[in-house]
Amino acid sequence: RAKRDGRNRYRFFDGSLDSAARRRSMIEQELAIAVAEESLSINFQPLVDAQTRTVVCAEALLRWNHPTLGAISPGEFIPIAEESGQIGAIGSWVLRKACQHAVNWPEHIRIAVNLSSRQFLSPGLLPLVESTLKQNALPAHRLELEVTESLLMEMTIGVEETLASLSKLGLRIALDDFGTGFSSLSYLRRYHFDKLKIDQSFISDLETNPDSRAIVEAVIKLARDLRMSVAAEGVETKGQFELLRHLSCGEIQGFLAGRPMPPEQFEDYLRQNSISVQRLYG
Ligand code: C2E
Ligand code: MG
Ligand code: MG
Ligand code: MG
C-alpha cells in the first residue's frame, strides 16, 4: 500500500498504479476535502411497521456527490475512510446531523445510524454518543445504532463492554445485514441486540425461493423468541411486503415504502404519510 503522508501523496499519480488503486487514493484525498467542506450529505430512508404501516424509524445513509467523479456510494468510500482513519470525523458528523434532524420529527420516530468497526473500537465512541444526544436534546431511546456481523467478527475483546455501555445509555442496538456473516447465531448468544435486520439478499427472492422464505420465517420467529424486534431490508415489491406482514415481520425497509431521501424530502414524506404509508395499500 502506498504511503499516506502529505509529502508522498502525489506519488499516487505517477502512473505506476493501476486504475483501481488510483481511484482509491484519489477518493481518499478528495474525502479529506469533502469532510472539511462538509460536502457530504445524508439521506433518510423510512422503516415502517409492517402491521400498522406507520413510519417508526429512519436510517441515515451517507451520500457523496463528487464534482467530477459523480455520486460515490458509501459502499465504496466508507471502507476507504475506515482504512485512512477519516471515518472518525465522518462518523461523528453523521451522528450529529442525524440527531439534529431527528429531533424535529414526531417523537415516535427513531433514528438509526450505521457504525463502522473502527468507530466501534474507538474509546471516544461512548462520550461522543452521550454528548451528541445531550447537545441535541434527543432522548436516547430514539437512537438506534446499527452494527454488522463483519464488525463483530473483527473484534473479540471489548465488544461486550462497548455494547453494554451503549445499551446502558438507553439507546438500541441493531444487528445489520443479518445472515451474511459467518457465525450469526453465535453472536446472538454472546451479545445482546435489540433488533435484527434481515439482509436484503434473503428478501429479494423471498417470493420465488422456498429456502429464503424458510430462513426469513425462522429468523422472524427466532428474533421474537429472543425478545428482539426484526426488520426486513430491501423490500421492493408488494408481494414481498404482504408475505412479510403475513409472517409477522416487525418492520420493513426498502424502495417499496420509500427510497433514501434528502432531509427536506423526508420531512415532506412524513407529513404525507403521517397516519400510514399510502403506497403500502392497494
Ligand atoms: P446498510 O446499512 O445495509 O444500508 C442499506 C442499503 O440498502 C443502503 O445502501 C440502501 O440505499 C439500500 N437499500 C435500501 N432499500 C433498498 C431496496 O429496496 N433495494 C435495494 N436494492 N437497495 C436498498 P447505501 O445507501 O448504498 O449504503 C450501503 C452501505 O454503506 C450501508 O448498508 C452501510 O453499511 C454503509 N453506510 C451508509 N451510510 C453509512 C454511514 O453513515 N456510516 C457507516 N459506517 N456506514 C454507512
Ligand atoms: Mg444499516
Ligand atoms: Mg443493512
Ligand atoms: Mg445491507
Task: Say how many Å lie between the CA of residue 99 and the centre of ligand 2.
Answer: 16
Task: Say how many Å lie between the CA of residue 251 and the centre of ligand 2.
Answer: 14
Task: Say how many Å lie between the CA of residue 9 and the centre of ligand 4.
Answer: 33
Say what the ipTM of the complex is.
0.98
267 close to ligand 1 (CB < 6 Angstrom) = no
147 close to ligand 1 (CB < 6 Angstrom) = no
114 close to ligand 1 (CB < 6 Angstrom) = yes
184: which DSSP letter? Answer: H
Dig out the grid coordinates for 117 from the structure: 468497526
In contact, 144 and 194? CB cutoff 8 Å: yes
Ligand 1 atom 19 nearest Cα: 234
The reported pTM is 0.93
In contact, 95 and 108? CB cutoff 8 Å: no
In contact, 47 and 55? CB cutoff 8 Å: yes
- On the 0-12 / 13-18 / 19+ scale of CB atoms within 10 A, 140 is middle
What are the C-alpha distances in Å from 200 to residues 48, 66, 106, 252? 15, 27, 28, 11
Task: Say how many Å lie between the CA of residue 237 and the centre of ligand 1.
Answer: 18
Ligand 1 atom 21 nearest Cα: 234
Q: How far apart are CA 227 and CA 248, in angstroms?
A: 14
Ligand 1 atom 20 nearest Cα: 234
- Model pLDDT for residues 104-146, shown as the tens digit of each residue: 999 999 999 999 988 988 899 999 999 999 999 999 999 999 9
In contact, 61 and 70? CB cutoff 8 Å: no
75 close to ligand 1 (CB < 6 Angstrom) = yes
- Model pLDDT for residues 56-77, shown as the tens digit of each residue: 999 999 999 988 889 999 999 9
Using DSSP bridges, classify how beta strands 55-66 and 70-72 pair: parallel, antiparallel or unpaired: antiparallel
- On the 0-12 / 13-18 / 19+ scale of CB atoms within 10 A, 274 is exposed
Measured over the CA atoms of residue 201, residue 203, residue 209 and residue 215, the dihedral's sign is positive
Task: Say how many Å lie between the CA of residue 115 and the centre of ligand 3.
Answer: 11
- Model pLDDT for residues 170-225, shown as the tens digit of each residue: 999 999 999 887 777 888 988 899 999 999 999 999 999 999 999 999 999 999 99
